[in-house]
Structure 1
Amino acid sequence: MPKLSRRDFLRTAAAAGAASALPLPFAAHAADDAILVGGLHDLSGPIDFAGIPMNQIMQLAVEEINASGGVLGREVKAVVYDPQSNMSMYSQYATQMALKDKVAVVQGGITSASRETIRPIFHRFKTLYFYNTLYEGGVCDRNEVSLGTTPAQTVEKLVPYVMNLWGKKVYTVAADYNYGQITAAWVKRFVEENGGEVVETEFFPLDVTQFGSTISKIQAAAPDILMSVLVGTGHLGFYRQWAAAGMKDKIPMASTTFGAAGAEPIIMTPEEANGIVTCYGYYPTIDSTANKDWLALVKDRYPEDTPILSELSECTWEGMMIWADAVNEAGTLDREPVLEVIESGKTYDMPAGKVSIDPKTHHAIRDVYIADLQDRVFEIKEKFEQVQPADTQGVCNLEETPDANVHHEISL
């Protein structure tokens, strides 16, 4: 069989995902007693570069769970739909998963918009939901487990680190939707708490691709640090135009999003991307036995086109494994006993490090890392152990309000 290029592979994977979104999903052919789990990721559309690896890792997790005896002694089967970054399709497929497929759990959603489209549906129908993407914080919903990092876990560490390296004057460019707006506000707070100043914050819709006038404004402002909170393929143009303008070696850059889904360092040249500093809950370069074993497992399963691994895909693995462990310990698929296990304070050894679920917020308490990108490799510079999701803890206490169903836009 000829070796597929990455582009061919992504196209093939997206087509397979779209096919699975037909009214009869492939899991309909599973054994009658199989436990169905839902995967709802963008396998085509503008952020398929994030959704395809998340789906691949979910499928791998299903295989590994089955190889270890399944869940409650039964086979696990994945029901996968491709919402194509379309919120109406997200809504349609979420409802179908809950009411027709009757999946035991859903791993899915990428953007905050997609999460807030499907989260209330799963809450209403009591379908357990894992959200595995870093985001702006604030979700308070006992039916959801949020494994991705929040600004209090990463931005709070990133800002003082780069200020100590480069200076106190910061210019922020951010995506113009809730993640970008709220995260930019956190950047401002952490900069000011560390004795610095944000001289300007500019917001850009996700479809903006030309940044010449902004680059001129940044040159004129002459900040010590450029902080990027940009999102998506359209905004990749900023990094390339920044390098082409000769600015990369003049004003250093940190980012809350660059490489978060893993794709940017592959798409861009080292000359365009070297030196960007980030902080996430997972990097493939984590030096641990658990991570090295997991990388080998992923490579063995996908030898031709290995998934681009990032916090998003690794947290998808965590979501599946935590769910399977909780169901087996509870001895039932019933949501309440499973949630009680998840809330019990168990610590899980994952490729990213130690992970536990905060019972008050259902967010992960986890290790986070600061890394410097060099020649397409994230070189880890610092590790912070067991960082709390303090931002969400400030607005959510599910022990006191277990029926909460809200996304707090945290006031800063």
Structure 2
Amino acid sequence: MSHTTRRSQHARLLPVTLALLASGSLAACSGGAFSSGGSQANTSGPIKIGMLLDQTGELNLAGKPMQKAAEMAVADVNSHGGVLGRTLELKSYDPQSDNAKYAQYASQLAEQDKVDVIMGGITSASREAVRPVADRTKTLYMYNEPYEGGVCDKNTFLNGATLDQTIAPLMPWGINKYGPKVYVVAADYNFGHNAAKWVQKLTTQAGGTVVNTEFVPLNVSDFNSIINHIQAAKPDLIASMLVGTNHVAFYRAYAAAGLNRSTPILSETFGLSGEQVVLDPKEASNIFVAASYYAALDRPENVAFKKAWHQTNGASYQEPTAQDIDVWNGIHMYAEAAKKAGSTDRVKVTAALEGGTSFDGPGGQVSVDPKTHHSVYDVHIASTNDKHSFDIVKTTPQVQPAWEQQVCDLQAKPDVNKQFSLD
């Protein structure tokens, strides 16, 4: 049976700021086979949402606004009556960009705090530190973050755009517009390596050639040698899949060498952590990105969300990104599923999510693909502008997780628990 739940956010976000002010910070703390059993669902008191997002460390540029989005989402749900007559309570820890702490705090959330759902993780490595803990403790896990794709796990829902959903429209568009020679610079971990594989595949399909691929550790901020290599290769395009605070230095070095005046950058990650805010517009010029959300989207739901965002965080605070909206959507999707299930029981909430739960978020309608536990949404190609923001260039509506649908069917094979790779 399919049932769809939709809620408009227009004119319903104004109480968020007051709710946040009334509660202070809603973050209470700082710093196998799929069956019922294991942790028992709470039936009274607040519904506990565990949140793991970097407030310090190499990825705090992304984690801080994501945490703000989480606090706003909880305040919004509570200001509209909560869920099943109960309020949401956010239990948050700062993993400090340390995967060991991700695993430690995930265990604490599940076994000591007894949360109803664990959310969070930014890098793929942090997700893979949390996911086994959530599986072992039989605690539902929602990963609200764009990522490389391929995770197939009955206990996990993935709310962010996958590489096949974003790079698939971006790479052919860029090659057709600017030329066939592509130089890849990617973060040296799971996401970056998978992104490079997708760039290679899509570039070849579009008639282009990857002339070189370089992987950069997250703690590296010196890009002089890579800039020299790019100048020698003379590509038509750069595919940048860099991540985190240190990697912002690449864009400064690229602009300082004058390369951004002649050779555009395509990226699935630029802007997710607010890179366009910390860079001078001249340093961020001639960059094209693909994501499920941009602040420039002209939708009533987005206008209302941005008003609440700046009322809560300050008029000059950076614009929200797809990462922030994924957190907002994830909490609302969980709330809708729990209402639909009439319970916070993990198995019942999972069935509700698989049954067609959707939410009209700031970026458009978001729904769950029941076979893969991934999301379906609009994908937008956008260009950087001189206002520390983006202009929408092209929109592809309601993009399916097509590759995941080829390799993962959790309805037919619910006991599968692995991450499929493109190769």
TM-score (norm 2): 0.88
Q: SS at the partner of 1:251? A: coil
Deviation at 1:223, TM superposition (A): 1.0
Aligned counterparts of 2:294 and 2:211: Cα–Cα separation in 1: 31
Deviation at 1:303, TM superposition (A): 2.6
Pair 1:310 & 2:330 matched: no
Q: CA 1:73–1:19 in structure 2 vs 1: closer, same or farther (change >3 Å)?
A: closer
Q: What residue in structure 2 maps to residue 204 of structure 1? A: 216
Structure with bigger RCO (C-alpha 8 Å, 6+ apart): 2
Give percent identity, aligned residues only: 44
CA offsets, 1:280-319, max 9 Å, x none? 0111111111111111122222236635411111010111
Counterpart pick for 2:257 among 245, 262, 267? 245
Contact map agreement 2:336 2:357 (CA 8 A) in 1: no
Structure 2 residue identity aligned to 1:161: W
Q: What residue in structure 2 maps to residue 333 of structure 1? A: 344
Pair 1:231 & 2:243 matched: yes
Q: SS at the partner of 2:381? A: strand
Structure 1 residue identity aligned to 2:137: F
TM-score (norm 1): 0.90
Q: What residue in structure 2 maps to residue 282 of structure 1? A: 293
Contact map agreement 1:40 1:108 (CA 8 A) in 2: yes
Q: CA 1:239–1:17 in structure 2 vs 1: closer, same or farther (change >3 Å)?
A: farther
Q: How many residues align?
A: 387
Q: What residue in structure 2 maps to residue 154 of structure 1? A: 166
Q: SS at the partner of 1:297? A: helix
Contact map agreement 1:17 1:81 (CA 8 A) in 2: no
Deviation at 1:160, TM superposition (A): 0.9
Deviation at 1:350, TM superposition (A): 1.0
Consecutive aligned runs of 4 or more in structure 1 exceeding 4 Å deviation? 16-19
Aligned counterparts of 2:376 and 2:99: Cα–Cα separation in 1: 29
CA offsets, 1:101-138, max 9 Å, x none? 11111221110000000011111212111101111101
CA offsets, 1:221-250, max 9 Å, x none? 111111111112222111111111111112
Contact map agreement 1:326 1:338 (CA 8 A) in 2: yes
Aligned counterparts of 1:222 and 1:92: Cα–Cα separation in 2: 46
Q: SS at the partner of 1:103? A: coil
Q: SS at the partner of 1:282? A: coil
Pair 1:91 & 2:103 matched: yes
Unaligned runs of 5+ in 2: 1-24, 32-43
Equivalence map 1:103-114=2 (5 Å): 103-114=115-126
Aligned counterparts of 1:305 and 1:272: Cα–Cα separation in 2: 21
Aligned counterparts of 1:148 and 1:225: Cα–Cα separation in 2: 26
Contact map agreement 2:337 2:357 (CA 8 A) in 1: no
Q: What residue in structure 2 maps to residue 354 of structure 1? A: 365
Q: SS at the partner of 1:273? A: coil
Pair 1:380 & 2:406 matched: no
RMSD: 1.8
Aligned counterparts of 1:249 and 1:229: Cα–Cα separation in 2: 20
Q: SS at the partner of 1:248? A: helix
Counterpart pick for 2:275 among 240, 244, 264? 264
Unaligned runs of 5+ in 1: 1-15, 23-31
Deviation at 1:213, TM superposition (A): 2.1
Q: SS at the partner of 2:197? A: helix
